Structure 1
Amino acid sequence: MTHTATPRRSGGDVRLRGISKTYGSFTAVHPLDLTVPAGSFFALLGASGCGKTTTLRMIAGLEEPTTGSVALDGRDVTALPPYKRPVNTVFQNYALFPHLDIYENVAFGLRRRGIKSVKKQVEEMLDLVQLGPLARRRPQQLSGGQQQRVAVARALINHPQVLLLDEPLGALDLKLRRQMQLELKRIQTEVGITFVHVTHDQEEAMTMADTVAVMNGGRVEQLGAPADLYENPATTFVANFLGSSNLIEAEVVEAGGDEVLVTAGGARLRLPAGRCTAAVRTGGRVLAGVRPEKMALAHADDAGAVAEGHNRVPGTITDAGFIGVSTQYVVRTRGAGSLAVYEQNIARDGRLVPGAEVVVHWSPAHTFGLDASQDIGAGADRDEEAA
């Protein structure tokens, strides 16, 4: 399976050709073709054991591929040891030297290569990661986010063509993680180096990356820009792993033209043909998908006010959870199973409480169609551990 992302700027690209990794009878990474454009911020996203870290380690030279080749900036490096590859890796635990101050941690790579005059380069790197005033502190005197930035500076000072980041924000708390997502993106934009970032956190991948490869079971399930993966998932795994999706089991009644008409229980739903996978357009069973935040609720008494042409399914609220920015409802429906609906807390309707009869409705344009032969729950139980 060949995947290519759109190039953005000059620099070191990464080309994996037929690369795979097996350990005895276990296949960690199935044969994979992948091109990471020079100068892009690329994320390998997936749950534990999906093969993303193994793929990163093969790029770094820390794992030897069972088959295939690794090329960096047009040069085959498959047989080269890590230290001869134009890459540097930032790990989750940062691996800073505790006995050296920040300045000397960043200067380490230059000094090891015998470079005597390091002051200008080190100061530039510390400015880039906004740690200049802390140059003489030891790692243990810094916060987790600051240590992480030191690790990035220490890697970048060697001018690698590719920077590999293995779960770099995994040890940080949520607020700091979000700050660092923006920080890393800023640094990548400024230096223009190719970043390949491994994470199990979908928000992290979608916030930072130009292109995301969603991995599952040692294969790339889908590759694309974050918004495209979210809006047009090709499989149930991607639909469930990137955010949440309501997947409604339905039967195709009519396919042809710009719309696909399906039935779920007694409800007739319309789907745009352009958002349906090929299998759906040929008829039979289908999974009609819609994101919870694209849906709205109307109390049964107001059903007549629902916009003309909207898909609509009647049901009963079984659960309502207020989470500040939105209220998350669970609605038991006749024919479409239980649906999650997220409504922004703008004008809250006090009647929308558990037990209330409602109509779930949404624009047909917000519906996508997937092949029903897949596992409907694939990707829903996201593993919070890094692979």
Structure 2
Amino acid sequence: MTTPKTPADDAVSLTGISKTYGSFTAVQPLDLAVPAGSFFALLGASGCGKTTTLRMIAGLEDPSSGSVRLGGRDVTALPPYKRPVNTVFQNYALFPHLDVYENVAFGLRRRGIKSVKKQVGDMLDLVQLGALARRKPHQLSGGQQQRVAVARALINQPQVLLLDEPLGALDLKLRRQMQLELKRIQTEVGITFIHVTHDQEEAMTMADTVAVMNAGRVEQMGAPADLYENPASTFVANFLGTSNLIETEVTGVSGGELQLTAAGQKLTLPAARCRVDVTTGGRVLAGVRPEKITLAHSDDEHEIAESRNRVRGRIVDSSFIGVSTQYVIDSPVCPELEVFVPNVERDGRLVPGAPVVLHWNPEHTFGLDAAQDIDAGTDTDEGEAAA
């Protein structure tokens, strides 16, 4: 028999929390529970409400409604300095006149702790900066400054560490290194991390659980792989990576499968992977990720197994992107289907203008409500890192 979960089991529990500014609603009333010891990500485009939500947890914004509980304790009315949280911002906010050691020791000294040597030393070892203890912030790289900021925040042993776009100022290669570094640190210290980001790869690389936000609401929440493989909406399907969404009609339902047709081409969709209840004559958006598709020249169509979903088309564009080649296919079922083909054994016939067949395992198809906006999540501004 399992013990029922209580609010105290969660590091953070938000109940009916919302935020409005005059007539504008930044965060719709939402309930959110962040398990203790987890790495949790709030993911969304600029203006979706993720940073506002983080600031309400920190006490930097007062909620318009609802409550904030930390470790089961209601802290909604408490000021920031009385909450057991620390925040790391994108600009790090290090003290330029203090060296690394004193930046990290600052929180302890502020609390009147005299003997700080061991705690600071242990924390610098954790972030692998012991050899740079006497350098000033301007003598460090962006990634090193970021680790100093994390060490300074962690040394006070908060219940929750809040990270507001902490990697946004780093270049791509360093950002990827720091994603792994932050995950390592979180695993070692076991403190709950809540990370706000607009970068899908960042959230999926680091987090145990991701909450995808859109227009002040949580669209879907779950493990990164589950969100990617089983999106619940067109927004999630398009915002988390790339999805091909094909408008189809249901022509039959049997044996746990939906039979679909699009522009005269037949497709199969497992009923368990369809997010909407449909019957024959209903409409479904059939989705498939670009990397799940195999691309074959039409001359080789006879070699494709009958059990595979297949769509015919013509290559209109191709882009070499290192590990794979990205193809854009014009097809009667969709004007711009995307396919990612690993650069292992390249077929020289797959060039713009070539007739092709796209085929994939029906199990890799997912179904969404055709009443949704098919382009939702494709026009978000990923270049900004605001709320």
User: When the two structures are superposed, what TM-score results if normalisation uses the length of structure 2?
Assistant: 0.96
| CA drift at 1:307 | 2.1
Contact conserved, 2:315 with 2:352, CA < 8 A, in 1?
yes
Q: Deviations over 1:73-131 (max 9, x none)?
A: 01000000000000000000000000000000000000001110110000000000000
In the alignment, residue 208 of structure 1 is paired with which amino acid?
M
| CA drift at 1:281 | 5.8
Distance 1:69 1:256, change over 3 A: farther
Select the residue among 363, 370, 373 that pairs with 1:372. 370
| CA drift at 1:274 | 1.1
Q: Deviations over 1:300-325 (max 9, x none)?
A: 11110112211111111100111111
Distance 1:51 1:226 in 2: 20
Q: Deviations over 1:15-58 (max 9, x none)?
A: 00000000000000000000000000000000000000000000
1:159-174 correspondence runs (5 A): 159-174=157-172
Distance 1:219 1:282, change over 3 A: farther
Contact conserved, 2:10 with 2:33, CA < 8 A, in 1?
no
SS, match of residue 167 in structure 2: coil
Distance 2:280 2:297 in 1: 36
| CA drift at 1:279 | 3.3
Aligned to 2:102: 104
Q: Deviations over 1:236-290 (max 9, x none)?
A: 0000000000000111111243111110001000011111113346751110000
In the alignment, residue 200 of structure 1 is paired with which amino acid?
H
SS, match of residue 22 in structure 1: strand
In the alignment, residue 232 of structure 1 is paired with which amino acid?
N
Select the residue among 193, 196, 199 that pairs with 2:191. 193
Unpaired runs of 5+ residues, structure 2, are: none
In the alignment, residue 234 of structure 1 is paired with which amino acid?
A
In the alignment, residue 276 of structure 1 is paired with which amino acid?
C
Aligned to 1:3: none
In the alignment, residue 92 of structure 1 is paired with which amino acid?
Q
Select the residue among 29, 50, 54 that pairs with 1:31. 29
Distance 1:11 1:164 in 2: 18
Which region of structure 1 is more displaced relative to structure 2, 315-324 or 47-56?
A: 315-324
User: Aligned Cα RMSD in Å?
Assistant: 1.3
Select the residue among 47, 60, 72 that pairs with 1:49. 47
Which region of structure 1 is more displaced relative to structure 2, 335-344 or 142-151?
A: 335-344
Distance 1:219 1:82 in 2: 24
| CA drift at 1:337 | 3.0
Select the residue among 280, 302, 312 that pairs with 1:314. 312
In the alignment, residue 385 of structure 1 is paired with which amino acid?
E
Select the residue among 258, 274, 279 that pairs with 1:276. 274
Aligned to 1:4: none
Contact conserved, 1:96 with 1:151, CA < 8 A, in 2?
yes
Aligned to 2:385: 386
Contact conserved, 1:128 with 1:187, CA < 8 A, in 2?
yes
User: When the two structures are superposed, what TM-score results if normalisation uses the length of structure 1?
Assistant: 0.96
SS, match of residue 240 in structure 1: helix
Distance 1:283 1:19 in 2: 41
Aligned to 1:65: 63
Contact conserved, 1:11 with 1:194, CA < 8 A, in 2?
no
Q: Tell me, yes or no, if structure 1 residue 328 matches structure 2 residue 326.
A: yes
Distance 1:12 1:31, change over 3 A: closer
In the alignment, residue 275 of structure 1 is paired with which amino acid?
R
SS, match of residue 278 in structure 1: coil
| CA drift at 1:364 | 0.4
Contact conserved, 1:273 with 1:281, CA < 8 A, in 2?
no
Distance 2:230 2:281 in 1: 19
